[in-house]
Amino acid sequence: MTQFFRSPSDKDKKLKKAVATLIGTRPSNVELYRLAFMHTSVSKPLNGKDVRLSNERLEYLGDAVLGMVVAEYLFKKYPYKDEGFLTEIRSRIVNRESLNLVARKLGLDTLVEYDPNRRTVLARTSMYGDALEAFVGAIYLDKGFQFTRKFILKRLLSSYFDLDKVVETNINYKSQIIEWAQREGRDLRFEVTEKGSARHKEFIAELMVDNEVFATGTGFNKKKAEQSASEKAIEKLNLVKPVS
Amino acid sequence: MTQFFRSPSDKDKKLKKAVATLIGTRPSNVELYRLAFMHTSVSKPLNGKDVRLSNERLEYLGDAVLGMVVAEYLFKKYPYKDEGFLTEIRSRIVNRESLNLVARKLGLDTLVEYDPNRRTVLARTSMYGDALEAFVGAIYLDKGFQFTRKFILKRLLSSYFDLDKVVETNINYKSQIIEWAQREGRDLRFEVTEKGSARHKEFIAELMVDNEVFATGTGFNKKKAEQSASEKAIEKLNLVKPVS
C-alpha cells in the first residue's frame, strides 16, 4: 500500500510547481499558498485561539488587493467616465461568478483542499473564487505589491476578461425579477421616491411583492434604483444571476 | 480692490504648502491635489465628455487604496482573529463619520472648494471624508503605493485612531432602532430565518416595521443578522450613527 502513499514532500513539490507556473516565479513562502487553498471545510483548529486555520483571512486580504488594483486599472483606462461607471464595471469583474470562472480556468480547482463529503453543497458556492482571492492575498504577502499588481493585470485581467464585452453587457435585473413574479404568480411593483436637492438627487426604489417591501435599492436615477432593488431581490431569492 | 485679489499663483502656493505639510514632502503634481479638493458642488464640465471635473473619481480610487492598506494592517495586527472581525473593524475605521472627523482634524475642511450657498446641506454630508479619500487617491497617483501606504499608517491610523477603543466599542444598532420605534410609536419586530447547512449556516433577519419588511440583514448568527438589519434601517431613516 505504501507505494500509493504520497509523502508531504511530494505534495509540497506539486504545490510549489503549480504556484511557480501560475505566478511565473518560485514561491518564497509555500506555506502561504498552502493556506490559500485550504477551504474552510478542512479548516484546522489553532491551539487556544478563536480562529481556525483556513483560507478565509487570506481571502479578506486578497479581496482588498484585487479591488484596489482593478479600481486603479479602470480609473486609468476610462479617464472620462464617472465613479458610478467605474464602480459598476469593477463589481462586474470582481464578483462571485466571474471569480469562480477565472479560478477554474487557472486550474485552482485542482489545488483547493476541501472535504469531498460536502461536494454537492460546495459545488454551488464560491469556493474557487474565494480561493482565487486568497491566492492573491498569498502572492501579496509573498512577493509584495508591485508583483501582485502585475499578476492581476497580466494574468487575470488581460487573459480572462473581455472588457469591452463587460462594459457592453447590461444585465437587466428588473426584467428577471418581473419574469420571476409572473412565473410564481406574485404581484410585483416598484415604488420610487426622490431624495436630496435638484443637483444631488438620489432615488430610492422599493420593490413590492404582494404589497410588502421585499427589497430596496438606491441610485442616481429611477432606472438605477429599480435595477439595484431588483438585484437585491434576486440575491434574496437565490435566483441564479447570469455570469457577466 | 486689487490688493485683496489673490492671483492663481498665490492660491497655488498655498495649496502646495498645505499638501507638503500634510504629506511631508513637496507634491510632484499639484493639479492632482487641486482636483482632490474640488467638491462636486463646484464641478466643472469637461468639453464634450459625460463626466464633470470634481473629486469623485479620485474618491473612488482613494477609497480602494485606503481599504486595502487598512485591510493589510489589521490582517497583520490581529493574526488570530477571523475575517468577520477584520471586516467589522475595518468598516468602523473607514466609515463616513470617522473619515469626516479625521479630515477635519487634518484641516482638509480649509482646503475643500465647495459652493457656500449649499453649505447647510453639505454640512451634514460626507464632504470632508470624501475629500480625504480623494486626497489619498491623489497621493497614490502622485507618489506611488509605498509612500501612500506609509502616509495612511503613520499619518492617519497611528495619529487618529485608538484601535483598542475601536475594537472594544460595540455599537448596538438593535437597541438604537428599538428606541426609535418606541419614540415614534411604531411596531417593530425581527423575523429571522436560517439558510445553509449545519456547518455553514447563514441567518437572515427581516426588520419589520408595522408588519412590513423595512430592512434585511444577514450574518453568521442571529445576533449579527439583527444588528445588520438594524444598521441598514438606521441608514435608511438617516438616523445619526455614533462616531466609532
Q: Are residues A191 and A142 in the same domain?
A: no
State how far the Cα of B19 lies from the Cα of B34, in Å rounded to an integer: 10
Q: How many residues are given for chain A?
A: 244
Interface of A with B (CB under 8 A): 40-41, 46, 49-52, 56-57, 59-61, 63-65, 67-68, 71-72, 75, 80-83, 86-87, 118, 121, 140, 145-146, 149, 197, 199-200, 212-216, 236
Residue A59 assigned as binding residue: yes
State how far the Cα of A75 lies from the Cα of B20, in Å rounded to an integer: 25
pLDDT digit string, tens, across residues A192-222: 998 876 666 788 999 999 999 999 998 878 8
> What pLDDT score does A126 carry?
85
Q: Are residues B110 and B190 in the same domain?
A: no
Q: Are residues B224 and B144 in the same domain?
A: no
Q: Are residues A116 and A45 in the same domain?
A: yes
Does any domain span residue B153? yes
Select from B46, B67, B87 the Cβ nearest to the Cβ of A67.
Answer: B67
Q: Are residues A147 and A221 in the same domain?
A: no
> What pLDDT score does A205 carry?
94
What string of pLDDT tens digits covers the 244 residues of chain B?
A: 344 555 667 888 999 999 999 999 999 999 999 999 999 888 888 877 767 889 999 999 999 999 999 999 999 999 998 888 899 899 889 988 889 999 999 999 999 998 877 655 555 578 999 999 999 999 999 999 999 999 999 999 988 888 888 887 766 788 889 888 988 899 999 999 988 766 667 889 999 999 999 999 988 788 889 988 998 898 888 775 543 3
Does any domain span residue B178? yes
Q: Are residues A39 and A154 in the same domain?
A: yes
Which among A78, A98, A97 is positioned nearest to A87, based on CA atoms?
A78
Which grid cell sits at A206?
A: 422599493
CATH classification of the domain holding B201: 3.30.160.20
Q: Residues of chain A whose pLDDT is less than 70? A: 1-8, 50, 118-124, 170-171, 197-200, 240-244
Assess contact for B82 and A53: CB atoms under 8 A: no
Judge whether B133 counts as a catalytic residue. yes
CB atoms within 10 A of CB A50: 10
Q: Are residues B138 and B39 in the same domain?
A: yes
- Name chain A contacts of B63, Cβ cutoff 8 Å: 71
What is the rounded end-to-end Cα distance, in angstroms, of chain A?
47
Q: Which of B31, B83, B148 is most worth mutating to test chain A (most A CB atoms within 10 A of its CB)?
A: B83
Q: Are residues A101 and A218 in the same domain?
A: no
State how far the Cα of A28 lies from the Cα of A87, in Å rounded to an integer: 34
Select from B60, B82, B146 the Cβ nearest to the Cβ of A51.
Answer: B82
Q: Are residues B101 and B191 in the same domain?
A: no
Of B128, B151, B168, the residue at which a domain comes to its end is B168
Does any domain span residue A2? no
- Containing structural domain, residue B127: 7-168
Total tally of structural domains belonging to chain B = 2
Does any domain span residue B19? yes
Does any domain span residue A41? yes
> What pLDDT score does A236 carry?
85
Does any domain span residue B52? yes
Angstroms from A40 CA to nearest CA on chain B = 9
Which among B90, B63, B92 is positioned nearest to B78, based on CA atoms?
B90
Q: Are residues A30 and A145 in the same domain?
A: yes
Q: Are residues B197 and B142 in the same domain?
A: no
Of B116, B133, B168, the residue at which a domain comes to its end is B168
ipTM of this complex prediction, to 2 decimal places:
0.73
Judge whether B142 counts as a catalytic residue. no
> What pLDDT score does B135 carry?
98
Q: Are residues B12 and B129 in the same domain?
A: yes
> What pLDDT score does B117 carry?
77
Q: Which of B10, B63, B162, B184 is catalytic?
A: B63
